[in-house]
């Protein structure tokens, strides 16, 4: 077997916190291994790269605190700089926690510059709340570029290898049609980034959940039509108005079945609910090349074509 990797087992955010603390601690002037000290400084420089704050030439004092005011990691550099790290390994920020953490740390260090950094090593659907809270964002790709695969330190090398394996898993959608969960996540993210106004997230259900993308919101008299990818399946859906009745939905379903610009591959009657599926447009929307690999651009073009068709369907309904 290949050499075991610590981070195959140390997969929690706390383990990731510990690695970042370890690497940051290597940047202090007192560290005798000059190469490892340089790698520690390169990590700190990465954390500061999105701000206008410069890393001091000499780090005489470096204190690292964990769970200070419920924050993940706080790095005190000399007497004037503090780096606040909120670390994520697949989860996302919530409940305005970033604002609270930053305010609390600034209160703890009223006379120091506080630089907030949000590290996400997995995949996150959007970072709007992170940016609005004033945090710089560091992702897996930036870490892979900064950390050294040939580091003098075994722990640093193993963390790089861990991130690289994650990256390969996320990029697995590029080969074949049977993808891992992370491959689906990366694919949905890639498609969503190419469609105007498209959002995506993981939908939980008793069967284990799936990744979904949704876009094309179009108002009609009964509510808002939109398109959704439920991994392979492309469907036309509606968020119904309060006044929309089951008979209204049934009539809309019949209109969608008979619309001339698409063929419905499988008829499934709408289920009751405020948000519901009207018709399935493709049971597998993906387009592949001759050897069975995904053609992303062609697939996106197909989805954009369906967006235009949905708009024309909405127009056909009149007022």
Q: Which pTM does this prediction carry?
A: 0.90
Claim to verify: residue 159 and residue 182 sit in the same structural domain: no
Claim to verify: residue 167 and residue 28 sit in the same structural domain: yes
Domain end among 171, 206, 230:
171
DSSP structural state of residue 278: E
Give percent of the chain above pLDDT 70: 99
Claim to verify: residue 309 and residue 239 sit in the same structural domain: yes
User: How many CA atoms are closer than 13 Å to the CA of 89, on its beta-carbon side?
Assistant: 16
Claim to verify: residue 120 and residue 213 sit in the same structural domain: no
Claim to verify: residue 44 and residue 141 sit in the same structural domain: yes
DSSP structural state of residue 109: -
What confidence tens digit (pLDDT) does each residue in 26-54 have? 999 999 999 999 999 999 999 999 998 99
The answer as to whether 1 is a domain residue is: no
Strand ranges (DSSP E) for 195-250?
199-203, 210-220, 223-230, 233-240
Given a cut of 80, whether residue 198 has pLDDT beyond it is yes
Claim to verify: residue 74 and residue 106 sit in the same structural domain: yes
- Where residue 289 falls among pLDDT bands split at 50, 70, 90? very high
What confidence tens digit (pLDDT) does each residue in 291-308 have? 999 999 999 999 999 999
Claim to verify: residue 19 and residue 48 sit in the same structural domain: yes
Given a cut of 60, whether residue 142 has pLDDT beyond it is yes
The answer as to whether 142 is a domain residue is: yes
Claim to verify: residue 11 and residue 134 sit in the same structural domain: yes
Cβ neighbours of 154 (radius 10 Å): 10
Q: What is the model's pLDDT at position 1?
A: 47
Distance between CA atoms of residues 217 and 241, nearest Å: 14
The answer as to whether 277 is a domain residue is: yes
> Residue 103 in 3-state DSSP?
helix
Cβ neighbours of 10 (radius 10 Å): 15
The tally of domains found in the chain comes to: 2
Query: Crossing angle for the helix pair 13-25 and 34-48, nearest 10 degrees?
Result: 120
What is the domain range of residue 287?
Answer: 178-316
Claim to verify: residue 218 and residue 134 sit in the same structural domain: no
Contact 117, 84 (CB under 8 A): yes
- Where residue 266 falls among pLDDT bands split at 50, 70, 90? confident
Claim to verify: residue 159 and residue 121 sit in the same structural domain: yes
| Cβ neighbours for 241, distance < 8 A, ≥ 6 positions apart | 221, 222, 223
Distance between CA atoms of residues 227 and 214, nearest Å: 6
- Tokens standing for 141? 């790709």
Claim to verify: residue 266 and residue 244 sit in the same structural domain: yes
Claim to verify: residue 158 and residue 268 sit in the same structural domain: no
What confidence tens digit (pLDDT) does each residue in 211-250 have? 999 999 999 999 999 999 999 999 999 999 999 999 999 9
Q: Rounded to whole angstroms, what are the CA distances from 186 to 24, 109, 151, 172, 291?
A: 29, 39, 28, 9, 21
The answer as to whether 84 is a domain residue is: yes
What confidence tens digit (pLDDT) does each residue in 143-175 have? 999 999 999 999 999 999 999 999 999 999 999
What confidence tens digit (pLDDT) does each residue in 80-91 have? 999 999 999 988
The answer as to whether 120 is a domain residue is: yes
User: How many CA atoms are closer than 13 Å to the CA of 173, on its beta-carbon side?
Assistant: 21
The answer as to whether 153 is a domain residue is: yes
The DSSP element (H or E) to which 62 belongs, if any, is strand 62-66
Closest by CA to 141, choosing from 97, 195, 186, is 186
The answer as to whether 296 is a domain residue is: yes
Q: What is the model's pLDDT at position 3?
A: 81
Cβ neighbours of 261 (radius 10 Å): 12
User: Which pairing describes strands 62-66 and 210-220: parallel, antiparallel, or unpaired?
Assistant: unpaired
Domain end among 135, 154, 171:
171
Domain end among 124, 154, 171:
171
Give percent of the chain above pLDDT 90: 88
| Burial (CB count <10 Å: 0-12, 13-18, 19+), residue 193 | exposed
- Where residue 268 falls among pLDDT bands split at 50, 70, 90? confident
What confidence tens digit (pLDDT) does each residue in 105-140 have? 999 999 999 999 999 999 999 999 999 999 999 999
Q: What is the model's pLDDT at position 94?
A: 86
């Amino acid at each position: 077997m290949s050499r075991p990797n610590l981070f195959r087992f140390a997969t929690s955010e706390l383990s990731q916190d510990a690695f970042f603390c370890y690497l940051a601690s290597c940047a202090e002037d007192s560290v005798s291994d000059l190469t490892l000290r340089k790698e520690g400084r390169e990590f700190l420089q990465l954390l500061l790269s999105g701000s206008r704050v410069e890393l001091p030439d000499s780090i005489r004092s470096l204190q690292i605190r964990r769970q200070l005011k419920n924050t993940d990691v706080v790095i005190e550099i000399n007497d004037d700089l503090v780096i606040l790290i909120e670390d994520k390994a697949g989860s996302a920020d919530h409940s305005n926690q970033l604002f609270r953490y930053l305010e609390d740390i600034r209160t703890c260090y009223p006379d120091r510059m506080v630089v907030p950094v949000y590290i996400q090593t997995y995949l996150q659907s959007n970072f709007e709340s992170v940016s609005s809270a004033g945090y710089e964002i560091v992702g897996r790709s930036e870490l892979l570029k900064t950390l050294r695969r040939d580091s003098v330190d075994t722990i640093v090398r193993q963390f790089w290898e861990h991130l690289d394996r994650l990256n390969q898993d996320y990029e697995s959608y590029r080969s074949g049609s049977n993808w891992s969960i992370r491959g689906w996540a990366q694919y949905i993210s890639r498609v969503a980034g190419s469609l105007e106004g498209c959002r995506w997230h993981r939908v939980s259900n008793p069967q284990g959940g799936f990744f979904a993308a949704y876009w094309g919101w179009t108002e009609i008299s009964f509510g808002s039509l939109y398109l959704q990818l439920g991994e392979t399946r492309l469907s036309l859906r509606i968020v119904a108005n309060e006044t929309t009745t089951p008979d209204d939905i049934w009539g809309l379903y019949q209109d969608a079945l008979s619309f001339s610009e698409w063929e419905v591959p499988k008829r499934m009657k709408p289920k009751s609910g405020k948000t519901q599926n009207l018709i399935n447009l493709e049971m597998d929307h993906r387009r592949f090349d001759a050897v069975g690999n995904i053609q992303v651009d062609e697939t996106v073009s197909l989805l954009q074509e369906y967006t235009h068709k949905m708009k024309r369907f909405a127009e056909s309904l009149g007022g």
